[in-house]
Amino acid sequence: MKTDVIMANLERKYPNEKEYLQAVREVLESVESTYNKHPEFEKAKIVERLVEPDRIFSFRVTWVDDKGEVQTNSGYRVQFNSAIGPYKGGLRFHKAVNPSMMKFLGFEQTFKNALTTLPMGGAKGGSDFDPTGKSDAEIMRFCQAFMLELWNNIGPDTDIPAGDVGVGGREIGYMYGMYKKLKREYNTGVLTGKGITWGGSLIRPEATGYGALYFLEHMLHKVGKDVKDHKIVVSGFGNVAWGAAKKAIALGAKVVAISGPDGVISIPEGMTEDMVDYMLDLRASNKNVVAPFADKFHGTKFIPGKKSWSVKCDIALTSAFQNELDGNDAKELLDNGCWCVCEISNMGCTPEAIHEFQEHKILFAPGKAVNAGGVATSGLEMTQNAQHLSWTAEEVDDRLHKIMKSIHEQCVKYGTQPDGYVDYVKGANIAGFMKVAHAMLEQGII
């Protein structure tokens, strides 16, 4: 396999799919030399098959807003790969959603899910519906209209959607209600991230952020450091940033910045628990601005138009969107003394930023390893649904802990360089890719 040959072909076929091409290139460059030691992969054209989604559903979603006006959005479900389990991955509702974003996220999800040690294939879906400023009734009508199209293509052993940016417990509730009405079955295992009284799992809302902090702890312990007393910046103020901030504080770190599309909040004394709780109110207000945070808490400051990466820190955690940290941001972080960056958002850093971090040999780990705790806990939710019982928070948290430890070990195993530096990007890509590739090989040419 030659990365450049495969990429040239994909660039010709999908010239406008920037994020998808970026994600595929990163994985192929990491795995090329390991892959080429397996002539049986080459013969079965594993990589050529693996970079293409199994299928994509693309549909129209029409709904009526509060003024009585008819609105139409685009909806998608990309079923990327089912070599190691049924399709699994979140739904993203965001105005910038397009086929490229859906494909990149489905591709990443395939390897992330493989790293979790649980039997889940990769998928992603969503819509260009913009939840900002929408009423609760509008959100409900949109979710119902979306499920009216999707329901027949998903199922507990087929494809299991969940949340992502713009989709949380409320949206999953509205979609599950509609699914149940159409299917006429109480099939809890069809969606994850459900409410606790109807099949949800304890710790699922916190899981992405908690898992990321467990991964970070392992990274730091490996080099003789600890999370405690270090300054951390996170980006965004959504579910992922919330879970990460909550666990970071519990572990004794100082969270000194959160952000929104309007700017950054600098918190020199570090976040308190009531500040973390307030992030939920801010998100629920549906306005997608972070500025009100500084009005509420003395000693914090709103700086318009700036990102979290401009605030001095030891550790930076991307927790909002893809490519939110670019080469210039990376330079600013390094100049300010930052020595560890973890992506909690999917593909949070641009290739230029990753290059800067790796050149300077600072600790850097990619989203598909760091944020896998979210989907892993979705997998635990599916297991509880299949058993028709619920585990305690301690049991779920303990399993999440073990999964993150195992993901860290896989990264170290495949990513340790001759000089001892751990290339977590390479480690995560090789571990995830090889698992899926072997499963595809064993299942024949399909």
Q: Which residues bind ligand GLU (CB under 6 A)?
A: 88-90, 162, 164, 192, 346, 371, 374-375, 378
Closest CB to ligand GLU among residues 97, 267: 97
Closest CB to ligand GLU among residues 75, 374: 374
Confirm if 367 and 346 have CB atoms less than 8 A apart. Answer: yes
Closest CB to ligand GLU among residues 192, 350: 192
Closest CB to ligand GLU among residues 165, 338: 165
**Could you tell me the sign of the dihedral formed by the alpha carbons of 185, 187, 191, 194, in that order?**
positive
Distance CA 362, CA 418 (A): 16
- The string of DSSP letters for 182-250 reads HHTS--GGG-SS--GGGT--TTHHHHHHHHHHHHHHHHHHHTT--STT-EEEE--SSHHHHHHHHHHHH
DSSP state at residue 156:
T
Q: How far is the CB of 246 from ligand GLU (least distance, A)?
A: 18
List 124, 231, 246, 368, catalytic entry: 124
Closest CA to 91 of 182, 169, 20: 169
Q: Which residue is nearest to ligand GLU (CB)?
A: 90
Q: How far is the CB of 204 from ligand GLU (least distance, A)?
A: 8
Annotated catalytic residue 134: no
| 6 contact partners, CB below 8 Å, separation of at least 6 | 24, 28, 47, 48, 51
Confirm if 426 and 414 have CB atoms less than 8 A apart. Answer: yes
Distance CA 22, CA 45 (A): 21
Closest CB to ligand GLU among residues 343, 356: 343
Closest CA to 212 of 353, 408, 415: 408
Closest CB to ligand GLU among residues 87, 293: 87
Q: How far is the CB of 192 from ligand GLU (least distance, A)?
A: 5
Q: How far is the CB of 338 from ligand GLU (least distance, A)?
A: 24
- Whole-angstrom CA distances from 237 to 5, 229, 275, 330, 385 are 40, 22, 11, 21, 30
Backbone angles phi, psi at 164, to 5 degrees: -165, -160
Distance CA 315, CA 244 (A): 12
HSE-up (13 A, CA, CB side) for residue 184: 0
Distance CA 286, CA 116 (A): 32
Q: How far is the CB of 89 from ligand GLU (least distance, A)?
A: 5
Q: How far is the CB of 87 from ligand GLU (least distance, A)?
A: 10
Closest CB to ligand GLU among residues 3, 100: 100
Q: How far is the CB of 114 from ligand GLU (least distance, A)?
A: 12
Which residues participate in catalysis according to the annotation?
A: 124
